[in-house]
Amino acid sequence: MKKRNPWFIFFWVALFVIIFMLMNSARQTGHEVELEYSQFKQYIRAGSVSKVLVAPELIKGQFVDRDGVLKNFKTVPMKDPNLIKDMEDNKVLEFTATGRNDWIGPILLNWGPMILLILFWLWIMRGMYSGSKQAMSFGKTKARVAGNDITKITFKDVAGCDEAKEELQEIIEFLKDPVRFQKLGGKIPKGVLLFGAPGTGKTLLAKAVSGEAGVPFFSASGSEFVEMFVGVGASRVRDLFARGRKSSPCLLFIDEIDAVGRRRFAGIGGGHDEREQTLNQLLVEMDGFETKEGVILIAATNRPDVLDPALLRPGRFDRHIIVPSPGLKDREEILGVHSKKIKLDADINLNVIARRTTGFVGADLANVVNEAALLAARNAQKTVNMKNMEEAIDRIIAGPQRKSHLMSEKERKIIAYHEAGHTLVAKFLPTADPVHKVSIMPRGSALGYTLQLPEEDKYLTSKSELLDKLAVLFGGRIAEELVFSEITTGAQNDISRATEIAMRMVTEFGMSDKIGPLALQRPNEEVFLGRDISREVRHSGKTSEVIDEEVKSIIDTARNKASKIIKDNMEILNKIVDCLLEKESLDGEDIDNIIKDKERESLCKNDSIKVEDKKENSVEKTIVKGQILQNENIFF
């Protein structure tokens, strides 16, 4: 709590006292009648005066005027030795005298306004002084020195990122023993840039470097350097490096450096603004200090593409370290780190959870563990089980369940056929990702969802995989058309995603036979102009028509493929829908069992037909079975 200034309190108390006395004096003065001394003597002789107070400079009292009204009066005294005798002779009931003891009142009345003005001036001057001090402090950096809890973080607390740890190990060794490197004549990198997707652990890695080296850790955000006052950002950069040199060896960490390190002269208008001044000062400071000073600058960003080239050149940020999204092994290790303080049930298998969280980064995995713990606490469980983990993954991917969302039976049936269409097409395409779960329970903004998870991490996508993905996206709409002879708005997101994939296949990936390997969509370079303004059309109108034709051709091919699969397997589609309407959710194993049961029924029917038909030989019967078994090997 902020402490009150005693001068401030004294000023307002004095102001209140002076105003009160002035108001009281004005009120009393307004009700007193000023009399000449001769009139005062006449009223005494007439017996109209009832009370008199004699002071050296003023006589006050009460009298009854000619109308019989009692009034207060005042008059200036004169040298009158007979005054007391006249008051006694005319029976004045009460008279007294006072000395010069009342000096505070006259002083306040006479000098009060001047005292008040002086106090007010002192208060204004003090505010200007404190304001100037605050203005001067704008130029000081807001970088925070890490406490003991942060500097205790080491690489043991960071799961995965093995390659990034190896790159940073050299920085740690230099901070521990810089003389060993200087003897050989080598120069340690001045700056290290960590970049990767949000939530991959860039900031945690920087803290771990500080904890491993055991040196001070100054952390600041890129947005803290730029203020509304000109020159503040550059001053804070200078102050940050000055503090670093005083505390060397140490680490300076700037998080989200893209807030201050964006490319210069990229926007509309001139480049002489506060942000660019701050960037220029940062470039000068990184050129000015030497690594022998024991100061290492680490910066983190998830937008390295917008950084100024001068910031990325050797001599400034010498080393660029990517912090990738974790693989299967890394995800399992990250889950182990975040679940140390969680009471897990015996049936928990972190490897299974890691396989079902493909594409999740460290922040997502931490959220999965936390959501599972909250769900277990909500259900008054003593431990977190596998069901809680599964529900947590579904909540993060699709959102929380909307159990209160009521739908008609017709809508539930439409949604069931839509999701069953996605599922059926995915199961009958060889390169599609396996279906992990399908549900018609509303989650988030979705009325139903089909969850596909790859069996392993993928870094490349082939043309056949993209075509199969398009067919899966149209599976829901095709199922609605074939069953209800009507289409709904439920496929809006599917159509949007399919169109985007097809457009990129033609304009970016070079997967069109007519267009060929041409990149017709230029990435955005002017980061301050906006996506639409800065986009440059690099082809003619005729080429645009060909692009539209190719996109439509790819979409039509995917629709036809999905339509054929669904038409050939309507019995399986109906069975999946019946199970969905009954259970509301099916996992991959349930869907496999449904398809296998239908295949067995079909196989039995074919066998019975072959037995009854004596004209067909056993060779034909074997061919039928072989085709079915071959399909099973493909689809399962």
Instruction: Give 310-354 pLDDT, tens digit per residue.
Output: 888 888 888 899 988 888 888 999 999 888 888 888 888 898 898
**pLDDT band for position 3 (50/70/90)?**
low
Q: What is the mean pLDDT of residues 196-209?
A: 87
Which residue would you say has higher pLDDT here, 104 or 459? 459
The lowest-confidence range among 236-240, 377-381, 616-620 is 616-620
Question: Residue 384 forms beta bridges with which residues?
Answer: 344
Give how many domains the chain has, as a whole number: 5
**pLDDT band for position 400 (50/70/90)?**
confident
Question: Residue 4 forms beta bridges with which residues?
Answer: none
Whether 612 maps to a domain, the answer reads yes
The lowest-confidence range among 113-122, 157-166, 390-399 is 113-122
| Confidence (pLDDT) at 602 | 58
Whether 304 maps to a domain, the answer reads yes
**pLDDT band for position 465 (50/70/90)?**
very high
Q: What is the mean pLDDT of residues 172-179?
A: 78
**Owning domain of residue 616:** 595-635
Q: What does pLDDT average to over the chain?
A: 77
Contacts (Cβ under 8 Å, ≥6 apart) of 237: 141, 225, 278, 281, 282, 285
| 555 and 449 in a common domain | yes
**pLDDT band for position 452 (50/70/90)?**
confident
Dist CA 265 CA 262 (whole Å):
9
| 587 and 438 in a common domain | yes
| 420 and 388 in a common domain | no
Which residue would you say has higher pLDDT here, 423 or 609? 423
| 428 and 386 in a common domain | no
Residue 564 one-letter amino acid: K
Whether 128 maps to a domain, the answer reads no
**pLDDT band for position 632 (50/70/90)?**
very low
| Confidence (pLDDT) at 483 | 92
Tell me, what CATH number does 217's domain have?
3.40.50.300
Which residue would you say has higher pLDDT here, 232 or 28? 232
| Confidence (pLDDT) at 478 | 94
Q: What is the mean pLDDT of residues 266-274?
A: 55
pLDDT beyond 90 at 531? no
Whether 563 maps to a domain, the answer reads yes
Q: What is the mean pLDDT of residues 545-550?
A: 92
Which residue would you say has higher pLDDT here, 479 or 76? 479
Domain boundary among the residues 377, 398, 419 is at: 398
Q: What is the mean pLDDT of residues 154-167?
A: 84
pTM value is 0.65
| Confidence (pLDDT) at 390 | 87
Q: Report the share of the chain in percent with pLDDT over 70.
A: 75
pLDDT beyond 90 at 236? no
| 295 and 207 in a common domain | yes
The lowest-confidence range among 63-67, 88-92, 450-454 is 88-92
| 574 and 436 in a common domain | yes
| 585 and 605 in a common domain | no
Tell me, what CATH number does 76's domain have?
3.30.720.210
Core vs surface per residue 313-322: b (16+ CB within 10 A) or e? eeebbbbebb
Q: What is the mean pLDDT of residues 3-21?
A: 65
Backbone angles phi, psi at 623, to 5 degrees: -65, -40
**217, 210 in Cβ contact below 8 A?**
yes
| Confidence (pLDDT) at 448 | 85
pLDDT beyond 60 at 270? no
**pLDDT band for position 199 (50/70/90)?**
confident
Judge whether 419 counts as a catalytic residue: yes
The lowest-confidence range among 128-132, 450-454, 468-472 is 128-132
Per-residue pLDDT reduced to its tens digit, 425-443? 999 998 888 888 898 888 8
| Confidence (pLDDT) at 450 | 87
Residue 379 one-letter amino acid: N
Tokens of 27: 């009120």
Whether 37 maps to a domain, the answer reads yes
| 177 and 290 in a common domain | yes
Helix, strand or coil, per DSSP, at residue 517? coil
- How far is residue 416 CA from its own chain's centroid? 36
- What is the number of other CB atoms lying within 10 angstroms of the CB of residue 427? 23
Catalytic residue among 333, 419, 480, 481: 419
Whether 19 maps to a domain, the answer reads no
pLDDT beyond 80 at 108? no
Q: What is the DSSP letter of 143?
A: P
Tokens of 151: 């500097």
User: The tokens 């599609």 sit on which residue?
Assistant: 432
**434, 455 in Cβ contact below 8 A?**
yes
Dist CA 515 CA 518 (whole Å):
7
Domain boundary among the residues 102, 128, 153 is at: 102
H or E element that contains 27? helix 6-30
Helix, strand or coil, per DSSP, at residue 494? helix
Domain boundary among the residues 322, 355, 374 is at: 322
The lowest-confidence range among 38-42, 189-193, 548-552 is 38-42
**pLDDT band for position 601 (50/70/90)?**
low
Whether 465 maps to a domain, the answer reads yes
Give the strands of the sheet with 250-255, arranged side by side: 144-145, 217-221, 250-255, 295-301, 191-195, 319-322
Q: What is the mean pLDDT of residues 190-208?
A: 87
| 449 and 528 in a common domain | yes
Give the strands of the sheet with 435-439, arranged side by side: 449-452, 435-439, 585-587
- How far is residue 263 CA from its own chain's centroid? 23
| Confidence (pLDDT) at 565 | 93
CA-based nearest residue to 335, from 300, 302, 373, 301: 373
| Confidence (pLDDT) at 553 | 94
| 315 and 199 in a common domain | yes
pLDDT beyond 90 at 422? yes
CA-based nearest residue to 348, from 302, 394, 390, 291: 390
| Confidence (pLDDT) at 100 | 54
Tokens of 188: 């340690």
**635, 592 in Cβ contact below 8 A?**
no
**For residue 164, is it left (φ>0), alpha (ψ between -120 and 50) or beta?**
alpha
| 488 and 426 in a common domain | yes
| 587 and 444 in a common domain | yes
**pLDDT band for position 194 (50/70/90)?**
very high
**115, 22 in Cβ contact below 8 A?**
no
Tell me, what CATH number does 440's domain have?
1.20.58.760
Whether 134 maps to a domain, the answer reads no
Which residue would you say has higher pLDDT here, 631 or 594? 594
pLDDT beyond 60 at 535? no
